[in-house]
Amino acid sequence: MKEFDVVIVGGGINGCGLLRDLALNGVKTLLIEKGDYSSQTSEGSSKMLHGGVRYLENFDFALVQEALEEKNLWLKLAPHVCFEREFYVPLYNFSKYRPWMLGIGLFLYDFLSHFQNKPFAILNKEKVLKEVPSLEHKGLLGAGKYFDGIVDDAKLTLECLYDALLEPGVEALSYHEVLKVNENVVTYKNRKTGETTDVRGKIIVYTTGPFTDTLLPKLGIPWTPKLVPSKGIHLWLKPGTIEASGSVVLTTKDNRVVFVIPQRDAVLVGTTETPVDQDVFDIKATDREVKYLIGILKEYFPNAEINESTIISTFAAVRPLVREEGSNESLGKVSRFHKIFRPNAHSYVMLGGKYTTFRRMCQELAAEIVPRLGKTYNPNHTMNPLRQKSIVPTFGKKPVMTKDLIQKIIVTEKVSTFEDLVKRRLSLLENMDEMKTVMGVPVSEVKQLFS
């Protein structure tokens, strides 16, 4: 039976981030993921590295500061998968805050970044409409302008994985499902062949996000439910649908926040925040949720042509929010702080948190695990740049695609399915059922590579 120091169950941003941290500290680690890496919650975010302006309202100053520090670190470490851009917060006569109040909040936001953010500004109505001309004019008071990061969330997760796998004794398996855990022995199944395998891990870590409350009891792990799952959906709209020089943050009349972010030759719109009443694996956006976001857009951009024909594609994911015991707060008020649990002597569970703060979350857990294995933990290793970049960048000039280059991507970037290639390695937004070519290569030829 093969043995590892640590076995990680779950290949999202926390699993891959922890794998990298442990690998860089010389820990022999195996990661097991049921689907493709980053194929669930970690590719379903609003594609931002941000502190979270709205969390200032909850007085989560420590969380915002930590997230801003991490955002600015990743802008330096991985400029090929993230970049900084302006965000506008329009204020209307019905808005909760006045311009001077927003100014105080944005100053605090920049202060918590140690003034590493580009400086904020408060704009009058005329200036706002010059920069975001498609906004509703009626009742507009002005807007705040601040700066945050845009990221390809799936690519950053994948490149953390690639970086980890450069270290000796580190392995990762996609499309393998954990069936049973008997003390330190993990039994998993290859979902393609049905073959089962046992491995031993001195420590087992569960980074299974919204699936944790259902998975752990099935595996016989002592566990009581901890999550308040929250569903969020997004739309990709055709380029030019909304005329804006930057991203727009809409505070709706029902007290939600919707982002409108031009990127990738498209416009990303989201998110919703609703309780989950369906299976959370491969969750989809419903017609009702799509119509809700379209309604918000029509309200704020009345002259823009926005309907279902302008939608390129949709996606959805579930946030694994952790509610404080006894709390009955709304989903928007539930803290984005993470928590680490120890259900037994050799297991850890990491839950909650924000995508932006994944490195800090993983550091906290790695700092406890590594000394238990008789090694010295160095927290600075993960501050080094990622060593293996994706062959096709999300932002910037794309290479000329050929069948041979696709074959290289499949081999070097751990691709198992056509969907893995299209959605996460190439970052394409089209509906796969309607695709005729993959960046110029006929779909039929590409699919042959997976047969």
Percent share of the chain, pLDDT over 70: 97
- What is the per-residue pLDDT for 72? 95
- What is the per-residue pLDDT for 275? 81
- What is the per-residue pLDDT for 320? 87
With bands split at pLDDT 50, 70 and 90, how would you rate the model's confidence at 305?
confident
Where do runs of H (alpha helix) occur along 78-170? 99-112, 125-131, 153-165
> What domains does the chain contain, in order, with CATH numbers?
2-42+154-226+330-383 (3.50.50.60), 83-149+228-319 (3.30.9.10), 403-448 (no CATH)
**For residue range 406-448, what is the model confidence (pLDDT) as tens digits?**
999 999 999 999 999 999 999 999 888 889 999 999 999 999 9
- 445-450 long-range contacts, CB within 8 A, separation 24+: 445/403, 446/403, 446/406, 446/418, 446/421, 447/418, 449/403, 449/406, 449/407, 449/410, 450/410, 450/416, 450/417, 450/418
pTM over 0.75: yes
Q: How far is CA 48 from the centre of its chain?
A: 8
Q: How far is CA 283 from the centre of its chain?
A: 15
Angle at 77 between CA 72 and CA 80, to 5 degrees: 105
* Cis amide prior to 193 (ω within 30 degrees): no
How far apart (Å, rounded) are the C-alpha atoms in residues 253 and 351?
Answer: 31
Q: What's phi and psi for 307, nearest 5 deg?
A: -155, -175
**For residue range 36-55, what is the model confidence (pLDDT) as tens digits?**
999 999 998 999 999 888 88
**3-state DSSP assignment of residue 337:** coil
Highest mean predicted confidence (pLDDT) among 39-43, 229-233, 357-361: 357-361
Residue recorded with tokens 């993959």: 438
**For residue range 374-405, what is the model confidence (pLDDT) as tens digits?**
999 999 999 999 999 999 999 988 999 999 99
- What is the per-residue pLDDT for 447? 94
How far apart (Å, rounded) are the C-alpha atoms in residues 406 and 68?
Answer: 36
Which token pair is 386? Answer: 């990622």
Residue 334 has pLDDT above 60, yes or no: no
With bands split at pLDDT 50, 70 and 90, how would you rate the model's confidence at 330?
very low
**3-state DSSP assignment of residue 431:** coil
Q: Return the exposure string of 255-289: e unless at least 16 CB atoms fall within 10 Å of the residue's CB, then b.
A: ebbbbbbbbbebbbbbbbbbebeeebeebebbeeb
> What average pLDDT does range 179-201 have in this prediction?
96
- What is the per-residue pLDDT for 207? 97
pLDDT averaged over every residue in the chain: 91
Question: Would you say 242 and 131 are in contact if contact means Cβ atoms under 8 Å apart?
Answer: no
With bands split at pLDDT 50, 70 and 90, how would you rate the model's confidence at 167?
very high
